[in-house]
Amino acid sequence: MYVILLGPPGAGKGTQAVQTAERTGLLHLSTGDMFRENLRNGTELGNLAKTYMDKGELVPDDVTIRMLLERIGRDDANVGCLFDGFPRTVEQAKALDIALKEQGNEIAVTVLIDVSNEEITRRLGGRVSCATCGSVFHEIFNPPDANRPCCGTVKMIQRDDDKPEAIANRLQVYADQTEPLVAYYTQAGKLKTVNGEQSPEAVGVDLLSALQESSN
């Protein structure tokens, strides 16, 4: 069973992917981890990807998909995979469909963790970190405790990519590049939507239900 997780930055895809993989036995396949493994091991595909990365260019889709096919061909992926971070565009989705079809496989379901831009901005915009050790807090969900200051200080800083203008840019990139995947998988009859503004536990329950419905 091959599953794709979609959702805007800050929707909780990474957390849900790890927990869902543990509950279902699916391999959690993060493209970031996959790239790092190939680069670290100096594989043929890793070295090929590095030639593009060293020039500041994007790694071509066919190279990424070849890495994916190699990874899902290992024994620990026999039950299936949960794709986290790929595809990001309709072009990538089409290329992945073709590659899987050539192996006699297909995407079973794509689950969208739906979160509004307002909620994403609230989540990401509230993140702060200790200026000394880097521990991450949230002004609403996990505020630093002035009575028990981290590292003896309450000086907190905000990362550049959590500032309002950066969040707006990340959401725009998602809308331009990734959101069209919603229409693509809806047309294919393979999209299910989960309310991502619930508690993480409730999102996890709904996500599992979506997978179970698709496997029947």
Active site residues: 13, 88, 127, 159, 170
Unique residue bearing structure tokens 């043929």: 44
Enumerate the β-bridge partners of residue 116. none
Q: How many residues does the chain have?
A: 216
**Cα 199 from Cα 208, distance rounded (Å):** 14
Helix axes 180-187, 90-102, angle to 10 degrees: 40
CA angle (132 as vertex; 11, 123 as ends), nearest 5: 15
Using an 8 Å Cβ cutoff, are 159 and 127 in contact?
yes
Which three-class secondary structure state does DSSP give residue 71?
Answer: helix
